[in-house]
Amino acid sequence: MITLNRPTAKNAANKELAQGLSAASMMVVSQAQDCTLDEAAQKQGKYLDPIFSSEDAIEGATAFAEKRAPEWKGQ
């Protein structure tokens, strides 16, 4: 069983987050080219809000603010 605090699990979680952000960013850019700024912001929220509101994203920000290592759950 891989625990989420092992380096390999952390690397996998970081890679998955980066891929999710990259894919979401590409979707925003491709769909927002012919939009107003307000429309683009709405589309951005559609793709990025689920990522930034995930348990791991909240844990990462909280851990950073508390100056401690995050405890990733993969969610």
Alpha carbon distance 54, 33 (integer Å):
27
pLDDT in tens, 20-29: 667 777 777 7
CA–CA distances in Å: residue 59 to residues 1, 4, 19, 53, 73:
22, 13, 19, 10, 9
pLDDT in tens, 18-60: 676 677 777 777 776 778 888 878 877 877 787 788 888 888 8
Confidence of residue 1 (pLDDT cuts 50, 70, 90): very low
Q: Which amino acid is at 72?
A: W
